Chains A and B, each alone.
Chain A
Amino acid sequence: MNDQVTISPTTLSIHLTINGRDHALEIEPRVTLLDALRDRLHLTGTKKGCDQGQCGACTVHVDGERVLACLTLAAQVEGRSITTVEGLANEDGTLHAVQAAFLEQDAFQCGYCTPGQIMSAVACIREGHAGSDDEIREYMAGNLCRCGAYPNIVAAVRQAAKELSA
């Protein structure tokens, strides 16, 4: 075989760092980060709503920035630090300020968009985009919620932003 040509392997061996833990995976190159999380690693907190980058339910953090896991191949994020909703609370179970605020403000109903909303909210606050209700609405607009928890999500992000800056 010509050593200039490599035949694409049917599977790749990759390592993903998720919530601070290393995971070894044998997967096809076409596997998305979302399906790797849900189907291979059984981290089903990250939700699949549309699989087309349109709803935000699969939002995770890659090196601290919000990313749609359905539009990201798992192989793309090897060596990067991935955080999912399962990795947000402290080891002792203490909720992240955003999670606690979502509970207090009833910022969800069915709960299916919620992990994505929470991951977006954490990033939204970190980005400095939680300065006013209008700004929160705009920077949380990429996460659809069909139950219509939007006003309560705004209240939760406002509350958490205040607590996190205190």
Chain B
Amino acid sequence: MTVHDMKHAASDSARLEAVGGRLSRVDGPAKITGAAKYAFEQQLDGLTHAVLVGATIAAGKVTAIDTRAAETAPGVLAVLTPDTIMELRGASDWFGNPPALSTYCPLAREVTFSGQHVAAVVAETFEQAVAAAALVKVWYDETPAIVDLSDGKAGDGIAIEAMTKEWGDAQAAFAEAPVRICAAYNTPREFQAAMEPHGLIARWQGDELTIWEPSQWLDGMARTYAEWFGVPFENVRLVSPYIGGGFGSKALALAHSAVAAAAAKMLGRPVKLVLNRPQNFTSYGGRAATRQTVAIGADRDGKIQSIVHRGVNETAVDGMWVEPLGSVTSIMYATPNFSSKQNVVRVNTVVPGAKRAPGENPSAFGIECAIDELAHELGIDPLEMRLINYAEQDPHTKKAWSTRQLREAFAAGAEAFGWAKRSPQPRSMRDGHQLIGWGVAAGTYPVRRAHGEAVVKILADGSVEVESSSIDMGQGTYTILAQTAAETVGVPVSQVSVKLGDSHFARAGVTGGSRLAGVMTGAVYKAAGQALDELVGLALSDPRSPFQALQANTLVVQDGRIASPRGEGPELSIAEFLSAVGRDQIEAKGDTLPVNTTPEQRYKNYTTIAMSIPHTEGDWSRYSWCAHFVEVRVDEDFGTVRVSRVVSALDSGRLYNPKLAESQWKGGIIMGIGQALLEEGIVDRRHGRIVNGNFADYMLPTNADIPDIQTISVGIPDPHSSALGGKGVGELAIVGIAPAIANAVFHATGKRVRDLPITLEKLI
């Protein structure tokens, strides 16, 4: 290598490491060598193993449990039933609302869904616990269950008034519109299906509880454990260094978590409990099944006059989940008249939960298919249709968009895809026996914001350490926080270590709603800035400082070295300087909360979602945006659909690390391909059981299902959305993929499938 090349390499590496650089994952080497220890892979002395027994009915009472055979099986330490497990206290919900009941039993006497935990076996080894769990006999008094939304007993459900959004006179305007379409769109129960199952290790030492559990929200889950067991919040430590995928599912402490922690307390030994794969389909909620009707009235030139939207999602018999189905419907297109209302229907299921873009994802399936239907009705190109109705401001709040690069996304995506060459008529493009279809759809996700804190330390050896109880489940938190701290303090990334996933570190709120990167880069930027200020202040003022004689106003820290801005005087490494002034470290804790925040408010901020900042706060309406262009090939004889090409242009504002952001976007697109073509929880109509609760029958996309995917960033820094200008990344790209595919299938076949997934029997 020549000297010239080396200089080049050095500047390349600086560009790579800065915020916005394409640095490879700093946690990558640990993950590719097997060195990364995930939460429940910790090795503890005296570890015991718990296995759960699930209900085989969906509704009814447990009348008896015979534990005798299990109790005498080799290695068994305890068999827990509703009668023998210790009583826990009720815990508040994630808004911080107090519990409805003062006590809580994580094993069910009254069964409200199939698979609900009714007993647990704890044994010396995993194999012994599995074998003994099979010996537990449970008797039930079974009552009729409501198996899903299509069950005759399900009814119309409960109106959720808070979901109602209305302006103008939508019904009258729809009735008078010269062109009208109205259709129903359904999405099935879907699952997050992270590759790492849910599970935990619980250990008590006196009244201090340590939980090793994959978690998207350490502080929120620690609060729940503390409340269940009536111990101070500080007594609970949650450890979650790596998370093997969450997608919304790992933010709460759940019934199985309570069983493990209770068993550990009762036995006085650490307990490991990991849900087996089928249990991962019944022990926590996936995406609720949804039904929507979308009616659009328009002028003959395609201008929308009215949108009338009605939605329904399933929820549990004993729990409430609202999947906000009007969230995209109400903001994507300009319309003078609008009405959206939503009901929820109770069925015998575990409480549904958050799966990547809850609300926005099914909402976009409805409106983005409906606008395509309207375009076809009018003979207008579906991309042109979207531009005709482009919302120049938030149609709901009437506020200005903070940034909305959606027009740019349509243009960049269409150009890269070659949309102009699309033949408008359905069934007009083919390759042999394959019908080819091109579809477009838009997506969006709100910029959810919150407050966070971080500790940044400058250590004696000149290295920088970042600490936060936030987490990395693959989004790249370790990497972007290293980049932020390195750039702010002025050291190479190789001198920064980031420590995450321990609730004893500086606190953080939930990692969900694509908010973490914006919150935490802001907190680290602030803490690192404070640490730098202290370092420079010390260098200017400490009597032992070699810089004191300069009488300078400021100093520059770059590449781990301190110098005056114009280069006169000494130049020292941070380590040399700290040694000269006799300091072993500088530590700064920074947070983004207002200065007068009380300790109670801080606790609430980190352990509930009650203090999230609305995305429409103040003068702006803040969203990420995207446009997806999809090509499908449909076998004319067999009805099989293959996605053969995807081009997506996305506006996530400024990207902190484009390499990692592109990976998340592609991941969202791929999960959307699964949603469109493969994924569906199938419920047995007799016992309300998920019959395909495993990876062979609940089909996820495989490598062979996925084509080349091109992503294009069209974002610009958005100062209203975050400290460093980014908007949300992780959830955006799944929004709009399913409708883009459905629209492409219509273009290929002339057949409109409004019921996901689009499987072959719906096409032939």
Which A positions have Cβ atoms within 8 angstroms of B? 10, 28, 30-31, 35, 38-39, 42-52, 54-55, 57, 84-86, 88-89, 95, 99, 102-104, 106, 108-115, 118, 136-138, 140-154
CA distance A34 to B246 in the complex (A): 23
Instruction: Specify which of B32, B473, B474, B664 is in contact with A99 (CB 8 Å cutoff).
Output: B32
Given contacts A140-B704, A151-B706, 18 further A-B contacts (CB under 8 A): A10-B74, A39-B126, A47-B196, A50-B277, A54-B695, A85-B34, A102-B28, A106-B662, A108-B31, A109-B474, A111-B27, A112-B196, A114-B32, A136-B703, A137-B703, A146-B193, A148-B670, A148-B701
Q: Which residues of A contact B705 (CB under 8 A)?
A: 141
CA distance A49 to B41 in the complex (A): 13
* Contact segment of B237-245, B306-314, B373-381, B629-637: B237-245
CA distance A153 to B705 in the complex (A): 13
A-B contact number at CB 8 A:
175
With CB as the reference atom, state the residue of chain A lying closest to B277. Answer: A50
Q: Could you tell me if B32 and A103 are in contact, using CB atoms closer than 8 angstroms?
A: yes
Q: Which residues of A contact B476 (CB under 8 A)?
A: 109
Q: Could you tell me if A86 and B33 are in contact, using CB atoms closer than 8 angstroms?
A: yes
Q: Which residues of A contact B36 (CB under 8 A)?
A: 111
CA distance A33 to B663 in the complex (A): 32
Which B positions have Cβ atoms within 8 angstroms of A? 24-25, 27-38, 41, 43, 74, 125-127, 131, 192-197, 242-245, 247, 274, 276-277, 473-476, 659-660, 662-664, 666-671, 694-696, 700-706, 708-709
CA distance A57 to B700 in the complex (A): 14
With CB as the reference atom, state the residue of chain B lying closest to A39. Answer: B126
CA distance A106 to B704 in the complex (A): 19
Q: Could you tell me if A111 and B31 are in contact, using CB atoms closer than 8 angstroms?
A: yes
Q: Could you tell me if B43 and A110 are in contact, using CB atoms closer than 8 angstroms?
A: no
CA distance A104 to B22 in the complex (A): 10
Q: Which residues of A contact B660 (CB under 8 A)?
A: 106
CA distance A39 to B708 in the complex (A): 39
Q: Could you tell me if B695 and A50 are in contact, using CB atoms closer than 8 angstroms?
A: yes
The 14 listed contacts between A and B (C-beta, < 8 Å) are: A28-B127, A31-B127, A49-B196, A54-B695, A106-B659, A111-B242, A111-B244, A114-B32, A141-B705, A147-B245, A148-B667, A148-B669, A151-B706, A152-B666
Q: Could you tell me if B667 and A109 are in contact, using CB atoms closer than 8 angstroms?
A: yes
With CB as the reference atom, state the residue of chain B lying closest to A133. Answer: B708
Given A112-B245, A114-B32, check contact A146 B195 (CB 8 Å): yes
Nearest-CB distance from A91 to chain B (Å)?
13
Nearest-CB distance from B356 to chain A (Å)?
10
**Interface SS majority for chain A:** loop
Instruction: Specify which of B33, B126, B473, B670 is in contact with A89 (CB 8 Å cutoff).
Output: B33
Q: Which residues of B contact A147 (CB under 8 A)?
A: 195, 245, 474, 663, 667
CA distance A140 to B33 in the complex (A): 19
CA distance A137 to B706 in the complex (A): 8
Q: Which residues of A contact B704 (CB under 8 A)?
A: 137-138, 140-141
Nearest-CB distance from A58 to chain B (Å)?
11
CA distance A149 to B671 in the complex (A): 11
Given A111-B474, A153-B703, check contact A95 B196 (CB 8 Å): no
Nearest-CB distance from B506 to chain A (Å)?
23
Given A35-B127, A146-B247, check contact A99 B195 (CB 8 Å): no
Q: Which residues of A contact B664 (CB under 8 A)?
A: 109
Q: Which residues of B contact A138 (CB under 8 A)?
A: 703-704
Q: Could you tell me if A151 and B195 are in contact, using CB atoms closer than 8 angstroms?
A: no
Nearest-CB distance from B198 to chain A (Å)?
12
Q: Which residues of B contact A110 (CB under 8 A)?
A: 194-196, 242-245, 473-474
Q: Which residues of B contact A108 (CB under 8 A)?
A: 25, 28, 31-32, 474
Given A109-B475, A111-B242, A146-B193, check contact A103 B29 (CB 8 Å): yes
Instruction: Specify which of A39, A52, A102, A151 is in contact with B709 (CB 8 Å cutoff).
Output: A151
CA distance A136 to B706 in the complex (A): 12
With CB as the reference atom, state the residue of chain A lying closest to B194. Answer: A146
Nearest-CB distance from A123 to chain B (Å)?
14
Instruction: Specify which of A28, A89, A112, A149 is in contact with B663 (CB 8 Å cutoff).
Output: A149
With CB as the reference atom, state the residue of chain B lying closest to A43. Answer: B34
CA distance A140 to B666 in the complex (A): 18
CA distance A154 to B702 in the complex (A): 12
Q: Which residues of B contact A28 (CB under 8 A)?
A: 125, 127
Given A106-B660, A150-B670, check contact A84 B700 (CB 8 Å): no
Q: Which residues of B contact A44 (CB under 8 A)?
A: 34, 37-38, 41
CA distance A35 to B703 in the complex (A): 27
Nearest-CB distance from B642 to chain A (Å)?
12
CA distance A37 to B38 in the complex (A): 15
Q: Could you tell me if A146 and B671 are in contact, using CB atoms closer than 8 angstroms?
A: yes
Q: Which 7 A-B pairs have the closest CB atoms?
A: A45-B34, A112-B244, A109-B474, A148-B670, A148-B667, A111-B31, A110-B474
Q: Could you tell me if B127 and A30 are in contact, using CB atoms closer than 8 angstroms?
A: yes
With CB as the reference atom, state the residue of chain A lying closest to B243. Answer: A110
With CB as the reference atom, state the residue of chain A lying closest to B274. Answer: A48
Q: Which residues of A contact B194 (CB under 8 A)?
A: 110, 112, 146
Q: Could you tell me if A109 and B34 are in contact, using CB atoms closer than 8 angstroms?
A: no
Q: Which residues of B contact A137 (CB under 8 A)?
A: 703-704, 706
CA distance A149 to B709 in the complex (A): 11
Q: Which residues of A contact B668 (CB under 8 A)?
A: 148
CA distance A149 to B36 in the complex (A): 18
CA distance A154 to B290 in the complex (A): 35
CA distance A136 to B28 in the complex (A): 22
CA distance A109 to B30 in the complex (A): 12
Nearest-CB distance from B6 to chain A (Å)?
20
Nearest-CB distance from A156 to chain B (Å)?
10
Q: Could you tell me if A115 and B34 are in contact, using CB atoms closer than 8 angstroms?
A: yes
CA distance A147 to B28 in the complex (A): 15
CA distance A54 to B25 in the complex (A): 28
CA distance A137 to B195 in the complex (A): 19
Q: Could you tell me if B703 and A42 are in contact, using CB atoms closer than 8 angstroms?
A: no
Q: Could you tell me if B37 and A103 are in contact, using CB atoms closer than 8 angstroms?
A: no
CA distance A115 to B24 in the complex (A): 18
Q: Which residues of B contact A102 (CB under 8 A)?
A: 28, 32
Given A110-B474, A148-B666, check contact A103 B702 (CB 8 Å): no
Q: Could you tell me if A55 and B695 are in contact, using CB atoms closer than 8 angstroms?
A: yes
Q: Could you tell me if B706 and A150 are in contact, using CB atoms closer than 8 angstroms?
A: yes
Q: Which residues of A contact B25 (CB under 8 A)?
A: 103, 106, 108
CA distance A26 to B442 in the complex (A): 58
Q: Could you tell me if B702 and A141 are in contact, using CB atoms closer than 8 angstroms?
A: yes
Q: Which residues of A contact B663 (CB under 8 A)?
A: 106, 109, 147, 149, 152
CA distance A33 to B474 in the complex (A): 27
CA distance A151 to B184 in the complex (A): 34
Nearest-CB distance from A73 to chain B (Å)?
11
CA distance A102 to B276 in the complex (A): 28
CA distance A49 to B274 in the complex (A): 11
CA distance A55 to B474 in the complex (A): 18
Q: Which residues of B contact A144 (CB under 8 A)?
A: 195, 695, 700, 702
CA distance A31 to B75 in the complex (A): 14
With CB as the reference atom, state the residue of chain A lying closest to B74. Answer: A10
Q: Could you tell me if B696 and A146 are in contact, using CB atoms closer than 8 angstroms?
A: no
Q: Which residues of B contact A114 (CB under 8 A)?
A: 31-32
CA distance A151 to B708 in the complex (A): 6
Q: Which residues of A contact B29 (CB under 8 A)?
A: 95, 103
Q: Could you tell me if A49 and B277 are in contact, using CB atoms closer than 8 angstroms?
A: yes
Q: Which residues of A contact B667 (CB under 8 A)?
A: 109, 147-149
CA distance A111 to B32 in the complex (A): 7
CA distance A81 to B387 in the complex (A): 62
With CB as the reference atom, state the residue of chain A lying closest to B278. Answer: A52
Q: Could you tell me if A49 and B195 are in contact, using CB atoms closer than 8 angstroms?
A: yes
Nearest-CB distance from B739 to chain A (Å)?
18
CA distance A154 to B705 in the complex (A): 12
Nearest-CB distance from B216 to chain A (Å)?
11
Nearest-CB distance from A32 to chain B (Å)?
9
Which of B32, B196, B274 has its CB near the most chain A CB atoms (within 10 A)? B32
CA distance A103 to B195 in the complex (A): 19
Q: Which residues of A contact B37 (CB under 8 A)?
A: 44
Nearest-CB distance from B711 to chain A (Å)?
10
